[in-house]
């Protein structure tokens, strides 16, 4: 191999985020992302410690959960500078995943597929943050869906594709 030839970076096909509670909250969980050969990303999330009902669920600009309230994660990941919307809207932030709904026991499970999320390239979600909010995302209010305080924060990292 010539010295100036670069080896191709391996393609990321699986990512994971461990969610930790923000100050004064008990929400925690795991979110996995798996990208298919066709570019569709499957998102699976399991959370606990939530209040019953719907909670905004978004990918945020920064993978930074250092502030106790989670605000260091910045706003929604929005590389195409679009308005906030629902997860099935064509015009929305890439990070707009809608809501996750907790039962009376405070647990929530969601499985969804998304064609806007990418694990590779310039708009990759690797290294970005995930925020779970105290309230429901109304899917229309700008710029965030009026979902309230941040109750959990985590950073998306590359996962072992065989795990």
The per-residue pLDDT for range 60-74, each reduced to its tens digit, is: 999 999 999 999 999
CATH match for 14-158 among 2.60.40.200, 3.30.70.1350, 1.10.10.60, 1.10.1030.10? 2.60.40.200
pLDDT single digits (tens) 98-126: 899 999 999 999 999 988 889 998 889 99
Residue 161 has pLDDT above 90, yes or no: no
pLDDT single digits (tens) 45-60: 999 999 999 999 999 9
What is the per-residue pLDDT for 131?
95
Across the chain, what does the average pLDDT equal? 87
Say which of 84, 92, 114, 137 is annotated catalytic. 84
2-6, 41-45, 86-90, 154-158: the lowest-pLDDT one: 2-6
Say which of 55, 92, 93, 128 is annotated catalytic. 93
Catalytic, 20? Answer no
Rounded CA gap, 138 and 162, in Å? 37
Catalytic, 58? Answer yes
Compute the C-alpha angle 50/55/58, nearest 5°: 115
Q: Is the torsion defined by CA of 30, 35, 36, 40 positive or negative?
A: positive
Catalytic, 55? Answer no
Rounded CA gap, 148 and 17, in Å? 21
């Amino acid at each position: 191999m010539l010295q100036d030839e670069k080896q191709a970076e391996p393609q990321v096909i699986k990512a994971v985020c461990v969610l930790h509670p923000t100050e004064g909250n008990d929400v925690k969980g795991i979110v996995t992302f798996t990208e298919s050969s066709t570019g569709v990303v499957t998102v699976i999330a399991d959370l606990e410690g939530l209040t019953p009902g719907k909670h905004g669920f978004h990918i945020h600009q920064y993978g930074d959960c250092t502030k106790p309230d989670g605000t260091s994660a910045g706003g929604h990941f929005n590389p195409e500078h679009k308005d906030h919307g629902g997860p099935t809207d064509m015009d929305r932030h890439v990070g707009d995943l809608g809501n996750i709904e907790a039962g009376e026991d405070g647990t929530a499970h969601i499985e969804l597929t998304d064609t806007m999320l990418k694990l590779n390239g310039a708009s990759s979600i690797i290294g970005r943050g995930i925020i779970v909010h105290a309230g429901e995302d109304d899917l229309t209010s700008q710029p965030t869906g009026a979902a309230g305080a941040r109750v959990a924060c985590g950073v998306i990292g590359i996962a072992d594709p065989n795990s």
